[in-house]
Copies of this chain bind each other. A is one copy, B any other.
Amino acid sequence: MASRSVLVYGGKGALGSALVSHFKEHSWKVLSVDLFANENADVNIVLSPSDDLDTQSTKVNAEVGVALADTKLDAVLCVAGGWAGGNASNKDFVKNTDLMVKQSINSSVVAAHIAAVHLKEGGLALFTGALAATGPTPFMLGYGLAKAAVHHLVTGLASPTGGLPKDSTALAILPVTLDTPMNRKFMADADFTTWTPLSAVAEKSFEWATNPASRPATGSLVKVTTAGGVTTFA
């Protein structure tokens, strides 16, 4: 069997790095897109933050095309993102919301276009939403609205007319809190047994990428919850 390939958008972040390593362990060809290179990836596409979004997308798509030659991707996994709190009266509300839009929406939009152009038929396009954003998020308004936009994107991509290749699957994972070094640093007193290990997301993403029959229905917003160290995708 020809080697399989995956593109990880945000491949140098905490979750992205876990995905890059996991797919590499299974001998997939891994492309990472991020502001910094991930030395474990086969191909690094490094974004220039000074480029406007359209220029960024054009460059990324061209570089992906060169890296793939005449092949297609089995999966596109968009795990870029960030977090900021605050309601509308917060002095940093506009600045933080702008950052959330750039980190979550812009990355997902470029990844969606990459998937439309470079994913193979029956492939997997995975995005990162947030369980909290299925309801109002007054205490983290910018974060919530950006994730709500990602959820909406995925429901549209799941349509036969959404632009993805035939028979592909568009999913959003909706975690609560991922067990990352950054979250451990800023929430040192939390109950870590309710946090989702990055390995759990990496293993499930790999299963979905490898075996289409294991995937939830296209367009699903998959709730990712962890209790007592056990993670459930539902």
Binding site for B on A (CB under 8 A): 52-54, 57, 87-90, 93-95, 97-98, 101, 105-106, 109-110, 112-113, 115-117, 133, 135-139, 141-142, 144-146, 148-153, 155-164, 219
With both chains docked as a complex, state the minimum distance between the C-beta of A73 and any C-beta of chain B, in angstroms: 14
Q: Which B-chain residue is minimally distant from A150 (CB atoms)?
A: B145
A160 to B113, CA, bound (A): 38
A113 to B90, CA, bound (A): 8
With both chains docked as a complex, state the minimum distance between the C-beta of A217 and any C-beta of chain B, in angstroms: 13
Among B95, B156, B164, point to the contact of A144 (Cβ < 8 A). Answer: B156
Q: Could you say how many copies of this chain the assembly holds?
A: 2
New contact pairs (9) apart from A112-B141, A141-B163, A148-B152, CB-CB < 8 Å: A87-B163, A93-B116, A98-B109, A105-B149, A109-B145, A136-B158, A138-B163, A139-B161, A141-B162
B144 touches A157 (CB 8 A): no
A128 to B112, CA, bound (A): 26
A139 to B87, CA, bound (A): 32
A98 touches B54 (CB 8 A): yes
Q: Which B-chain residue is minimally distant from A141 (CB atoms)?
A: B156
A114 to B164, CA, bound (A): 39
A158 to B138, CA, bound (A): 8
A157 touches B141 (CB 8 A): yes
A142 to B113, CA, bound (A): 11
Among B112, B148, B161, point to the contact of A148 (Cβ < 8 A). Answer: B148
Among B106, B135, B155, B164, point to the contact of A98 (Cβ < 8 A). Answer: B106
B138 touches A87 (CB 8 A): no
Once A93-B113, A163-B87 are accepted as A-B contacts, the answer to whether A144 and B138 lie under 8 Å apart by CB is no
A146 touches B144 (CB 8 A): no
B113 touches A88 (CB 8 A): yes
